[in-house]
C-alpha cells in the first residue's frame, strides 16, 4: 500500500519554532518529527511514501530525497494550505489502489499502523477522557466493531474514541477527495472518512499511544517519548571524569568534558559539546553544534542546533530554537509558586499547557543579557533580546 504523509502545514501554533524550520522538520530525538511518521509507515510495509509538502517544503524534500530506507519517496506540492483533504487531493496523481493517509505531525505506536494497513478500510482512534475536543468515532459496538460515523467536537460524544489522523482507504476514495470546504473554510479529510464509513465496512484501530504535536510543549512531549526509546551508545569523545548514567547517546563528533554528569535519556548529537562541569538530565536533546558550558544545568529540554548556553545557567522544560545565546547566569523558572499548570500563548491566546513544569520557548537567534531571569511559560520571539539583569515576565 502507498502511504500519503501530510507535511504541508504551516504549524502556526508552533511559532516561533516553526518560523524558519517547518514543523515537520523540528527535532524529535535523532530525526525530524515527520521522519517518525514515515518510519512507522515503512515499518508497516508501505511500498511507497508520498509526502505532501508546502510551507518550506524543500527542507522536507532535501531530508528524504528520492529514496529513504530503501523505499521510494515522491512529493506532491500543495500550493495553499487549504485543508487535509485538499492536501491528499494534491497527491491524487500518485495514487492507485488502496492507500493510507497519515498526519506528518503525529506520533503513533508502530504496531497499530501495522494493524491499520492490514485492516483497510480502517481508521485509527485513541481513547481519550474528553472526546468533545476531538473528532469522535461512533461504532456499532460489536466486538472490535465497525465504525458507523465520525462527528467533529460533539457536545454529546457517542464513544471516547478520538480520531487519530491515520487512515487506510479503499481505492475508490481517490475519487472522493474533492470535498467542499467546511464551516471553518478548509477541505477536511474527515468528510472523505465519512464517505468511506458510509460505503465500506470500516474497522476502528485503537492506538495504545498517540501524540499530536501541534504546540511547543507537545514537542517536548514528543522528545520525552522518543528519547526514552533510545539505547545507550557512546561514540563521541567523553572524558574519563564524566559520569553518564542510563540511556545516554553521545554521537560521534560530540564532546563531553570533565566533571559532566548526564542522566539519560539524553541525546548529545554530532558536533555538540557539554561541559566542563555541566549537569544534563531528564529527556534532553542537545542538537548538532550546540554548546552547554561550565556549570550549566539542562533538564528535560530541547537545545537546538548552534545554540549556546555557555556559563552558569539553569534551563528546565524548555525549547530553545536555533542559534540562541543565553548570557552567563541566565536562569529559567519552570514552576509556579501556586503549583498551577503553566500557561502559554498560542496564536494570541493564553492556554494551559497541562504541565506543572514548563519553562520557556525561545525562537531562533534569541539573545539574553547576563543574569536574565525568565519566568515560566514565556515566549521569546525570533531574534528577541533581553538586557543584563532583567527579569522577563511577559512574552516579547
Ligand atoms: P494541522 O495541525 O491542522 O495544521 P498545521 O500542521 O499547519 O498546524 P497549525 O494548525 O498550528 O497551523 O494539520 C494536520 C496535518 O495535516 C499536519 O501534518 C499538516 C497537514 N496539513 C497539510 O498538509 N495541508 C493542509 O492544508 C493542512 C491544513 C494540514
Cβ burial, residue 62 (10 Å; 0-12/13-18/19+): exposed
CATH number of the domain residue 351 falls in: 2.160.10.10
C-beta of residue 196 within 8 angstroms of C-beta of residue 174: no
C-beta of residue 303 within 8 angstroms of C-beta of residue 321: no
Nearest CA to ligand 1 atom 14: 103
pLDDT, residue 208, reads 94
Q: Do 24 and 158 have their domain in common?
A: yes
- Catalytic-labelled residue, pool 94, 187, 294, 311: 311
CA of 11 to the centre of ligand 1 (A): 6
Q: Which domain holds residue 375?
A: 226-392
DSSP annotation string for 198-223: HHS--EEEE-S-EEE--SHHHHHHHH
Q: Which of 348-387 are b and which e, b meaning 16 or more Cβ less than 10 Å from the residue's Cβ?
A: eeeeebebebbbbbbbbbbbbbbbbbbbbbbbbbbebebe
Average pLDDT for 11-35: 96
Q: Do 92 and 147 have their domain in common?
A: yes
Q: Measuring CA to CA, which residue among 35, 46, 205, 43 is closest to residue 104?
A: 35
C-alpha distances in angstroms, 307 versus 159, 273, 340, 345? 45, 11, 30, 23
Tell whether ligand 1 has an atom less than 6 A from the beta carbon of residue 100: no
- Please say which residue of 169, 193, 214 terminates a domain: 214
Q: Do 377 and 340 have their domain in common?
A: yes
- pLDDT of 115 strictly over 70: yes
Q: Do 57 and 186 have their domain in common?
A: yes
- C-alpha cell at position 15: 511559532
Atom of ligand 1 lying closest to residue 10 CA: 7
Q: Do 207 and 241 have their domain in common?
A: no
Mutate to test the pocket of ligand 1, among 41, 77, 84, 218 (most ligand atoms within 8 A of CB): 84
pLDDT, residue 144, reads 63
Q: How far apart are CA 108 and CA 71, in angstroms?
A: 20
Residue labelled with grid coordinates 531562533: 364
Q: How far apart are CA 305 and CA 155, in angstroms?
A: 44
Tell whether ligand 1 has an atom less than 6 A from the beta carbon of residue 106: no
Q: Do 188 and 313 have their domain in common?
A: no
Q: Measuring CA to CA, which residue among 356, 301, 353 is closest to residue 326?
A: 301
pLDDT, residue 14, reads 98
36 has catalytic annotation: no
Positive or negative torsion for Cα 323, 364, 64, 284? positive
C-alpha distances in angstroms, 225 versus 137, 206, 220, 228, 373? 26, 19, 9, 6, 29
Tell whether ligand 1 has an atom less than 6 A from the beta carbon of residue 5: no
Q: How far apart are CA 368 and CA 331, in angstroms?
A: 10
CA of 84 to the centre of ligand 1 (A): 7
| Position 256 confidence tier, pLDDT thresholds 50, 70, 90 | very high
Q: Do 177 and 246 have their domain in common?
A: no
Residue 60 lies in a domain: yes
Q: Measuring CA to CA, which residue among 263, 293, 261 is closest to residue 281?
A: 263
Q: How do residues 117-164 score in pLDDT, each as one tens digit?
A: 999 999 999 999 999 989 999 998 765 679 999 998 899 999 999 999
Q: How far apart are CA 128 and CA 318, in angstroms?
A: 26
Q: Measuring CA to CA, which residue among 55, 31, 42, 30 is closest to residue 5?
A: 42
Q: Give the CA-trace dihedral at 93, 97, 98, 101, to 10 degrees.
A: -20
Average pLDDT for 281-288: 97
CA of 8 to the centre of ligand 1 (A): 7
Q: How do residues 365-386 score in pLDDT, each as one tens digit?
A: 999 999 999 999 999 999 999 9
pLDDT, residue 145, reads 78
Q: Do 250 and 199 have their domain in common?
A: no
- pLDDT of 17 strictly over 90: yes
Q: End-to-end distance of the chain based on CA atoms, in angstroms?
A: 47
Beta partners for 135? 152
φ/ψ (deg, to 5) at 59: -70, -30
Atom of ligand 1 lying closest to residue 5 CA: 18
SS3 300: coil
Q: Measuring CA to CA, which residue among 191, 127, 124 is closest to residue 159?
A: 127
Q: How do residues 173-191 score in pLDDT, each as one tens digit?
A: 999 999 999 988 999 999 9
Q: How do residues 310-337 score in pLDDT, each as one tens digit?
A: 999 999 999 999 999 999 999 999 999 9
- C-alpha cell at position 319: 525549547
Q: Do 189 and 245 have their domain in common?
A: no
Nearest CA to ligand 1 atom 4: 9
C-beta of residue 323 within 8 angstroms of C-beta of residue 306: yes
Q: Which of 98-107 are b and which e, b meaning 16 or more Cβ less than 10 Å from the residue's Cβ?
A: bbbbbbbbbb
Q: How many helices (H) and strands (E) does the chain have?
A: 6, 39
Q: Do 198 and 258 have their domain in common?
A: no
- pLDDT of 48 strictly over 60: yes
- pLDDT of 217 strictly over 70: yes
- Complex prediction ipTM: 0.96
Residue 310 lies in a domain: yes
CATH number of the domain residue 206 falls in: 3.90.550.10
* Exposure on the CB side of residue 390, measured as CA atoms within 13 A: 14
| Overall domain count for the chain | 2
CA of 111 to the centre of ligand 1 (A): 24
Residue 220 lies in a domain: no
Amino acid at each position: 500500500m502507498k502511504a500519503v504523509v501530510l507535511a504541508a502545514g504551516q504549524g502556526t501554533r508552533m511559532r516561533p519554532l516553526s518560523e524558519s524550520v517547518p514543523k515537520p522538520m523540528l527535532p524529535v530525538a535523532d530525526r525530524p518529527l515527520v521522519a517518525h511518521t514515515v518510519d512507522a509507515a515503512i515499518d508497516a510495509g508501505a511500498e511507497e511514501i508520498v509526502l505532501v509538502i508546502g510551507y518550506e517544503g524543500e527542507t522536507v524534500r532535501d531530508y528524504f530525497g528520492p529514496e529513504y530506507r530503501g523505499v521510494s519517496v515522491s512529493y506532491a506540492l500543495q500550493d495553499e494550505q487549504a485543508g487535509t483533504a485538499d492536501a491528499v487531493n494534491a497527491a491524487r496523481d500518485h495514487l492507485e489502489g488502496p492507500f493510507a493517509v497519515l498526519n506528518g505531525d503525529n506520533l503513533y505506536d508502530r504496531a497499530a499502523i501495522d494493524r491499520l494497513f492490514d485492516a483497510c478500510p480502517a481508521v485509527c482512534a485513541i481513547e481519550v477522557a474528553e472526546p468533545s475536543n476531538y473528532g469522535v468515532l461512533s461504532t456499532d459496538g460489536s466486538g472490535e466493531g465497525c465504525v458507523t460515523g465520525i462527528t467533529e467536537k460533539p457536545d454529546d460524544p457517542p464513544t471516547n474514541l478520538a480520531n487519530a489522523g491515520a487512515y487506510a482507504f479503499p481505492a475508490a476514495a481517490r475519487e472522493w477527495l474533492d470535498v467542499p470546504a467546511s464551516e471553518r473554510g478548509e477541505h477536511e479529510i474527515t468528510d472523505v472518512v465519512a464517505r468511506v464509513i458510509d460505503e465500506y465496512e470500516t474497522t476502528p484501530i485503537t492506538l495504545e499511544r498517540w501524540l499530536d504535536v501541534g504546540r511547543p510543549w507537545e514537542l517536548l512531549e514528543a522528545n520525552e517519548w522518543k528519547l526514552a526509546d533510545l539505547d545507550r551508545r557512546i561514540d563521541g569523545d567523553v572524558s574519563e571524569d564524566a559520569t553518564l548514567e542510563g540511556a545516554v547517546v553521545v554521537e560521534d563528533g560530540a564532546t563531553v568534558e570533565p566533571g559532566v554528569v548526564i542522566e539519560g535519556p539524553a541525546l548529545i548529537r554530532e558536533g555538540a559539546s557539554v561541559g566542563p562541569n555541566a549537569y544534563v538530565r531528564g529527556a534532553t536533546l542537545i542538537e548538532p553544534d550546540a554548546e552547554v558550558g561550565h556549570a550549566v544545568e539542562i533538564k528535560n529540554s530541547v537545545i537546538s542546533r548552534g545554540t549556546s548556553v555557555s556559563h552558569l545557567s539553569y534551563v528546565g522544560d524548555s525549547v530553545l530554537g536555533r542559534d540562541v545565546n543565553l548570557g552567563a547566569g541566565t536562569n529559567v523558572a519552570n514552576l509556579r509558586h501556586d503549583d498551577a499548570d503553566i500557561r502559554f500563548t498560542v496564536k494570541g491566546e493564553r492556554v494551559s499547557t497541562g504541565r506543572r513544569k514548563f519553562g520557556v520557548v525561545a525562537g531562533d537567534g534569541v539573545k539574553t543579557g547576563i543574569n536574565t531571569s525568565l519566568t515560566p511559560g514565556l515566549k521569546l520571539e525570533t531574534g528577541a533580546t533581553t538586557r543584563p539583569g532583567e527579569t522577563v515576565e511577559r512574552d516579547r
